[in-house]
Amino acid sequence: YLFHSISFLYLNFIGYFGLFALFGLMLWIGIKSGLSKIELLPIPFLMFTLSQYELISFAMTSMQQYWQFFFCLVAIIFISKDNNLKINSIIFSFLFATIASFTGAGGLIVFPAILIYLLVYKKGFKNTTIWLFGTIMVFFIYFIALKYHQTAIGIASHQFVVEHML
């Protein structure tokens, strides 16, 4: 907003960078897991197909979805990288999970996913309690503390539905 207008071209570039960051992260995970080059081959085909056109061509969607998925994966990587879970891993995982959540509502799914991981793999009562408390805080902020202000088009569409019932 420096020049009193919004250039959607730059917003698209931010989204493209998110797509390539996600691609790099997926390759890094694959290489670190010991996958061969042939096993890594589907990653670029699935990520750069024409079905991604809708996400890439709309600036806000590409800015939101790719980064949200990227931050969710980073949160999962931090929480699952070591057998002995350290507080630093929990803090960084929680930070990236929170960033994912406020990048887009779909990022909220990483909180229960990691909570299930902590419960299933028995990562300790203390770690699970810390994660659960943080999850409750983020959900409280997201759903209760932040006030939703309905847009003009939302108000008009609800009013139209009330006036023109079937």
Stretch 97-124: mean pLDDT, rounded?
91
Report the C-alpha gap between 75 and 94 in whole angstroms: 7
Under a CB-based contact definition with an 8 Å cutoff, are residues 42 and 23 in contact?
no
Q: Give this prediction's pTM.
A: 0.80
Residue 38 predicted with pLDDT over 70 = yes
Place of tokens 């019932």: 165
Under a CB-based contact definition with an 8 Å cutoff, are residues 85 and 128 in contact?
no
Q: How confident is the model at residue 137 (pLDDT cuts 50, 70, 90)?
A: very high
Percent share of the chain, pLDDT over 70 = 96
Q: How many helices (H) and strands (E) does the chain have?
A: 9, 0
**Which of 57-66, 69-78, 108-117, 130-139 is least confident?**
57-66
- For the chain, the domains span 8-163
Q: Give the per-residue pLDDT at 94.
A: 95
**Which of 12-16, 20-24, 142-146 is least confident?**
12-16
The pair of structure tokens assigned to 57 is: 């061509």
pLDDT in tens, 72-103: 999 999 998 877 888 889 999 999 999 999 98
Residue 64 predicted with pLDDT over 70 = yes
Q: Give the per-residue pLDDT at 112.
A: 95
